[in-house]
Structure 1
């Protein structure tokens, strides 16, 4: 553990999810692949369109409404819907195709197993401090088996913009009713998690599950309070 700043007493911990508690890139790649296979099997017309059709639809929706960047679920739903409309679907057929593909992707997006050590860590921490999940993504906490450890779960949406915006941090603090400076946020992304949490008045711990943690290789705007080499080091704070 590397200390960059002195810590105040910690009364609660908020966690980023993707790439903090588990590696997420391969999960998304597998979910995208599974979605295409599902679409090709259920809706054969999708076999004959360019692979970038769905990305192109996302870009069109983002240009029309840049705030959609804060709600990846709604962005994907709209992109699927407009893509199927481009393929000639309408009415109930369009609604069914959009819903089935949307639900398939989000099941696969959360279709992975969390390391047993993470369960043990979160169980011990949650028995001593309130824990809250804050994510720019939209993993299904119940499906991956982590819901029971968190007293609340906030994910980015049109109402709660993505980190580094302070909206989710403020929502967590309001839920906890604990001073900002006594909450520790743990996350992998220095510009989003650490910078955002510090701006919101939180204390911060940097940990990345998906890569080697070399500060000189990161886009750091502000230093965290601590840099962890293992999430179990959080046990020192309870």
Structure 2
């Protein structure tokens, strides 16, 4: 561990999920590829759409409604709706296709199990302090095997802006009934997690499982309280 700031007693831990507890990028690439295959096989009129065409539809929705960047689920639903409609699906057939494809993608996006070592760590930490998840994504915690370790999971949405906005950090502290300064937020992103947590008055721990952690190679405006060498370092911090 490397400490950059003085730390207070930790009475709760909030966790980012993607790229903190598991590597997410390759999972998303695979899920996107599986969705494209599913669309071509089950909705043949979409065969005229290439992946670049779907990305263009997505960009258009983000340009028209920038706040959709905080709601990956709603953004995908709208992208599917527009793309399928563009391919000729209408009315009930369109509604059914959007629901079907969204459910398929969501299942594939969460079609993995968190490493048993991480699960054991979460279980051990949960016996000492309450844990809460704060994510900009929309992974299914039950499906990936970690739901039981968290008291709550807060997910970014149109009503709940994504990190580094303070809303989810504030809600977490309120739900836990613990002062912000006694909550440690653990995440891989030095802007969304570290800067967001510190700006909200929490403590922050930087840990990334998807890359080598060279802080001088990262975009950074605020130093974390602590850089974890291993996620198991958390056991030392909560006694």
Tell me, yes or no, whether TM beats 0.5: yes
Q: For 2:222 and 2:153, locate their aligned partners in 1 and report how far apart those are by CA, in whole Å.
A: 26
Partner of 2:58: 58
Residue 170 (structure 1) aligns with: 170
1:224 aligns with 2:227: no
1:186 match: 186
- What is the CA RMSD across the aligned residues, in angstroms? 0.7
Q: 3-state DSSP class of the match of 1:143?
A: helix
Range that drifts further, 145-154 or 38-47: 38-47
TM-score normalised to the size of structure 2? 0.98
* CA offsets 1:45-84 (integer angstroms, 9 cap, x no match): 2222232121111111112111111101000000100111
Q: Does 1:10 align with 2:10?
A: yes
Q: Partners in 1 of 2:26 and 2:171 — Cα distance?
A: 30
In the TM superposition, 1:27-42 aligns within 5 A as: 27-42=27-42
Q: Who is 1:132 aligned against? A: 132
Instruction: Give, in whole Å, the separation in 2 of the partners of 1:60 and 1:5.
Output: 42
Q: Which residues in structure 2 correspond to 1:149-164 (within 5 Å)?
A: 149-164=149-164
> 4+ runs of 1 displaced by more than 3 Å?
none
Contact 2:110 2:139 in 1 (8 A): yes
Paired with 2:235 and 2:50, the residues of 1 have a C-alpha distance of 50
The residue that corresponds to 1:99 in the other structure is: 99
For residue 118 of structure 1, report the CA deviation from its aligned partner: 0.5
Aligned to 1:210: 210
Cα distance, 1:99 vs structure 2: 0.7
| TM-score normalised to structure 1 length | 0.99
Q: Tell me the distance in 2 between the aligned counterparts of 1:47 and 1:125.
A: 48
Residues 67-78 of structure 1 aligned to structure 2 (within 5 Å):
67-78=67-78
